[in-house]
């Protein structure tokens, strides 16, 4: 079955969840799984899972299910995790340090090539094997290394000027942790905005509107 055009972002955003779960199953030695078993584990309907996967081709067999290792590899290929796109991170504060230290860029399709900050206190620090450089040398670094993506861990007020600068250096892809909308000025960019406060407020809503917990039995 050929890949469909115009696949919705809601489908794309479910793929990493499938990939994570299948990778865990593969590590546990599970070789085969049905859409019904996947639905029970992921909280989705079996029909939804089949429809999502059918957007990219037929990976399973009716009555047999999916080969875990094969499906995991196929989804990884769809997501482009083997591309190793070169990335830089700007902003080596608490958030930037945590992202650079604890995220496995190499297994998620990227190589973190450089970290930059404008604070003299942070310059020269080493984070996950990379020395924090001054933003004064960022242009020279980008012209030489040609990164594809920039991780922005700076205050909102700084993103406008920073995105202008990075756009001028040829960067069109951003993982943006500020609340600044880059695409308003640069509609040809690809931006994943991460709003941690939104996620926290969503959790607050769900807690507020959840049914009362049953009283624990003694």
65 and 119 share a domain? no
Lowest mean pLDDT among 15-19, 186-190, 214-218: 214-218
Domain that holds residue 135: 85-199
What b/e string do you get for 120-159 counting C-beta neighbours within 10 Å, with b at 16 or more?
A: eebbeeebeebebbebeebeebbeeeebbbbbbbbeeebb
What is the predicted pLDDT for the residue at 162?
A: 97
Residues 41 and 118 placed together within one structural domain of the fold: no
The single-letter DSSP state of residue 29 is T
User: Binning pLDDT at 50, 70 and 90, where does residue 210 land?
Assistant: confident
Assigned domain for 62 exists: yes
Q: What is the pLDDT of residue 4?
A: 54
Quote the number of domains for the chain.
Answer: 2
CB atoms within 10 A of CB 19: 20
> Residue 212 domain-assigned?
no
In a domain, 74, yes or no: yes
Choice among 6-20, 180-194, 201-215 with the minimum mean pLDDT: 201-215
Please compute the mean of the pLDDT values over residues 45-57 and round it to a whole number.
91
51 closest CA partner among 35, 40, 70, 63: 35
Q: Given this model, what pLDDT does residue 65 score?
A: 86
pLDDT at 215 over 70: no
Q: How high is the pLDDT of residue 214?
A: 64
Percent of the chain with pLDDT over 90: 84
Identify the domain boundary among 78, 111, 137. Answer: 78
Q: Indicate whether 109 and 70 sit together in one domain.
A: no
Per-residue pLDDT, 1: 41
Q: What contacts 189, CB < 8 A, 6 or more positions away?
A: 167, 172, 173, 174, 182, 183
> What's 154's DSSP letter?
S
Burial (CB < 10 A; 0-12, 13-18, 19+), residue 183, is middle
Is 172 found in the same domain as 137? Answer: yes
62 pLDDT higher than 70: no
- Whether 94 and 193 share a structural domain: yes
Q: What's the pLDDT tens digit per position in 98-120?
A: 999 999 899 999 999 999 999 99
| Residue 192: strand pairing partners | 175
Per-residue pLDDT band at 33 (split at 50, 70, 90): very high
């Amino acid at each position: 079955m050929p890949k469909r055009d115009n696949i919705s972002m809601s489908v794309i955003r479910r793929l990493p969840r499938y990939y994570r779960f299948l990778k865990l199953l593969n590590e546990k030695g599970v070789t085969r799984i049905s859409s019904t078993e996947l639905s029970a584990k992921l909280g989705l309907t079996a029909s939804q899972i089949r429809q999502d996967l059918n957007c990219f081709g037929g990976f399973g067999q009716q009555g047999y299910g999916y080969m875990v290792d094969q499906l995991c590899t196929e989804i990884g290929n769809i997501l482009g995790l083997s591309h190793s796109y070169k990335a830089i991170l700007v902003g080596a504060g608490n958030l930037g340090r945590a992202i650079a230290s604890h995220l496995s860029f190499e297994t998620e399709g990227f190589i973190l090539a450089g970290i930059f900050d404008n604070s003299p206190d942070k310059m020269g620090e080493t984070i996950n094997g990379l020395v924090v450089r001054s933003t004064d040398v960022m242009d020279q670094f980008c012209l030489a290394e040609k990164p594809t993506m920039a991780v922005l861990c700076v205050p909102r007020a700084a993103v406008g000027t920073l995105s202008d600068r990075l756009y001028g250096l040829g960067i069109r892809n951003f993982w943006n942790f500020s609340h600044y909308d880059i695409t308003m000025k640069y509609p040809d960019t690809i931006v994943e905005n991460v709003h941690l406060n939104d996620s926290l407020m969503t959790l607050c809503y769900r807690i507020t509107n959840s049914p009362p917990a049953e009283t624990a039995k003694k």
